[in-house]
Structure 1
Amino acid sequence: MVKLTRIYTRTGDAGETGLGDGSRVAKTDPRVAAYGTVDELNALLGLCRLQAGPDLDSALARVQNDLFDLGADLCTPEMEDPPFEPLRVVASQVAWLEAEIDRVNANLETLRSFILPAGSAAAAHLHHARTVARRAERETAALAATEAINAEVLRYLNRLSDYLFVLARDANRDAGGDVLWKPGASRDA
C-alpha cells in the first residue's frame, strides 16, 4: 500500500525523476512523457465524470483506476528476473473495454459521416479525453519503438480512445444527436 507522508522530495529539482525500478531518468524521457500523458488523461476523465450519470460515472471510475495500473506499468521498465512483481495491464482489462464498446455502440445509429467533437457538455469532454488518449497512445508507441513495453498497454490505449468515442456519441444521442461534419461547407460562403 502507498503511504505518502511528504509530498515534495526535492529529488526532481535537477530535472530527473525516479522510475518504478528505482532507476533515474530525465523528466523529458519518452517513458515519462507517455505516463505523464496518461496522468493528464486520467485528470480529464475526472472532468468527464462531472457530466456523467451514475452508470457512466461508474464506468469512468473503473477506467481511471485502470489508467493508474497502466501508468504504473509504463513507469516500471521491463526487467529480467525482477526483484518484485510489477503491476502490468492484462488482457482482461482490454476485453472489458471491447465489451463496453460493443454494448454502447449497439444502441447508436450507423455513422454515415465523420462527426465534429461537439454537442453536449458531456460529449465535448469525452471527445477531448479521446484526443488525449490518442496522444498517450502515440507517445507510448514511440516509446515501444525504442524500449520493450507490455503490449497490452498499447492495446488498452487504442481501445480506450474508441470507447471514449462511442461514449461521446451516446452522450449526444440524448442531446439532439451527433454534430456532423459537412465537407467544404464554408468554402463558398
Structure 2
Amino acid sequence: MGYRLSKIYTRTGDAGETGLADGRRVAKDHPRVEAMGELDTLNSQLGLLLAELTHERSAHPALEEIIQALEPCQHRLFDFGGELAMPDYQALREDEVTRLEGLIDRWNEEVGPLENFILPGGSRLIAQAHVCRSLARTAERRCQQLNAVEPLRPVGLAYVNRMSDLLFVAARLIARRQGCGEILWQAAPAPQD
C-alpha cells in the first residue's frame, strides 16, 4: 500500500472549509464533518480504553476477551468514518452489527439484569468504558442529524447505536471481572418539612 498522506497540512482549510474524499468542499461545522469528528473522538477514547485494558490484563486475565471483542470496533468505526467522508464508499456490513448484538447478549447474561441505575466509576477502566459509551451516544446523535438532511445507510446508524449498548455492558463486565462493585445511583434525600 502506498502513502495515504504525503503532506499533513495543506492550508486549504484555513478559511473554515474542508474537503471530502469525493472532492466536495463543505464547512467544517457541516453535519457530515460533525459526525465524522464525533466518530473520531469515540475511536480515540476507545483506543485509550484498549490501552488501559491491555495494561491491566496481566492482573486480570479475564479482560482479554473484552480486548479481543473491542479491537475490531476501532477498525469498523474508522470504516464508518470513511463512508461519511466518501458517500459512495461502503465498508460496514450487517454482520458487524450482528457480532455486536451477540457480544451484548452474551455479556449481559454474565452480568445479570440491571436492578439499579449505575454511575460511571469504580475503577479507571469502568469509568473509561462509560466515557466511550457516552461518546458513542454523541456520535449517534450527530449521525442522526446528518441522516435527517443527507440519508445514511441504516447499517452505520445501527452500528454506532449498538456500540453504545456494547460499551455499557462492557463497563459492567469490566467491573465484574475486576471484582469491583458498581457505583449505584442514590436518589437525593426527600426534603424535610
The residue number in structure 2 matching 1:58 is 68
**Structure holding more helix per residue:** 2
TM-score by length of 2: 0.88
The verdict on how the C-alpha distance between 1:90 and 1:177 changes in structure 2, with shifts beyond 3 A counting, is same
CA distance in 2, matches of 1:145, 1:187: 43
Q: 1:154 aligns with which of 157, 166, 185?
A: 157
C-alpha deviation, 1:179, in angstroms: 1.0
The residue number in structure 2 matching 1:68 is 78
Aligned partner of residue 106 in structure 1, secondary structure: helix
Unaligned stretches of 5+ residues in structure 2: 58-63
Amino acid at match of 1:151: P
The residue number in structure 2 matching 1:24 is 25
The residue number in structure 2 matching 1:127 is 130
Residue 163 of structure 1 pairs with residue 166 of structure 2: yes
Query: What RMSD in Å do the two structures reach over aligned CA positions?
Result: 1.6
C-alpha deviation, 1:185, in angstroms: 4.4
- What pairs with 1:76-155 in structure 2 (closer than 5 Å)? 76-77=86-87, 86-155=89-158
Contact 1:73 1:150 in 2 (8 A): no
More displaced stretch, 69-78 vs 100-109: 69-78
The residue number in structure 2 matching 1:10 is 11
The residue number in structure 2 matching 1:37 is 38
The residue number in structure 1 matching 2:61 is none
CA distance in 2, matches of 1:48, 1:15: 32
More displaced stretch, 178-187 vs 21-30: 178-187
Over residues 108-151 of structure 1, what are the superposed CA-to-partner deviations in whole Å (9 max), with x where a residue is unaligned?
02111111111111110000000000000001111111111111
Aligned partner of residue 169 in structure 2, secondary structure: helix
Q: Identity of paired residues, percent?
A: 45
The verdict on how the C-alpha distance between 1:60 and 1:184 changes in structure 2, with shifts beyond 3 A counting, is same
Contact 1:73 1:88 in 2 (8 A): yes
Contact 1:169 1:177 in 2 (8 A): no
The verdict on how the C-alpha distance between 1:71 and 1:186 changes in structure 2, with shifts beyond 3 A counting, is farther
Q: Number of paired residues?
A: 181
The verdict on how the C-alpha distance between 1:51 and 1:185 changes in structure 2, with shifts beyond 3 A counting, is farther
Amino acid at match of 2:95: S
C-alpha deviation, 1:19, in angstroms: 1.1
CA distance in 2, matches of 1:131, 1:60: 16
- What pairs with 1:169-180 in structure 2 (closer than 5 Å)? 169-173=172-176, 174-180=178-184
More displaced stretch, 146-155 vs 158-167: 146-155
